Amino acid sequence: MGNAHERTIWQLSVIIEATVEERNAAVEVITRALCPDENHPGTCPVPWTTMACRFDDLDPEDKASWQESFDLDRQPRGPGTPEAR
């Protein structure tokens, strides 16, 4: 197993049902979590990027994949675990 301090590339996906304002707030929270000092000099020491798109703007294959994921995540969880929100 690798060193706990080794860095690797990760992709995190978030699907939310939100207004434009709520979407903007979510992107801002994620942005501040990745780069807490938006006024640092030069490029960010933590390489990152965010992307956002509307479900309606996806091609049919991506829509089907997102919808399947969204539907699965909205299913009740097993005993003793909280239900999806």
pLDDT category at 28 given cuts 50, 70, 90 is: very high
Q: Provide the whole-model pTM.
A: 0.65
- Across the range 52-67, mean pLDDT stands at 89
Q: Are residues 14 and 28 in the same domain?
A: yes
Residue position matching structure tokens 């006024």: 39
Question: Do 6 and 46 share a domain, yes or no?
Answer: yes
pLDDT of residue 26 exceeding 90: yes
Number of domains into which the chain is organized: 2
In which band, very low, low, confident or very high, does the pLDDT at 21 lie, cut at 50, 70 and 90?
Answer: very high
Whether pLDDT at 27 is above 90 = yes
- Dihedral of alpha carbons 31, 34, 36, 40, sign: negative
- Whether residues 34 and 47 share a domain: the answer is yes
Lookup: tokens for 21: 């304002």
Does 4 have pLDDT greater than 90?
A: no
Q: Are residues 48 and 62 in the same domain?
A: no
37 and 71 both lie in a single domain:
no
Residues 47 and 62 in one domain: no
Q: What do you get for the CA distance between the two ends of the chain, in Å?
A: 35
**Residues 48 and 66 both lie in one domain:** no
Domain hosting 13: range is 1-52
pLDDT of res. 44: 87
Interatomic CA distance for residues 69 and 52, integer angstroms: 17
Q: Is the pLDDT at 16 greater than 90, yes or no?
A: no
Q: Are residues 69 and 85 in the same domain?
A: yes
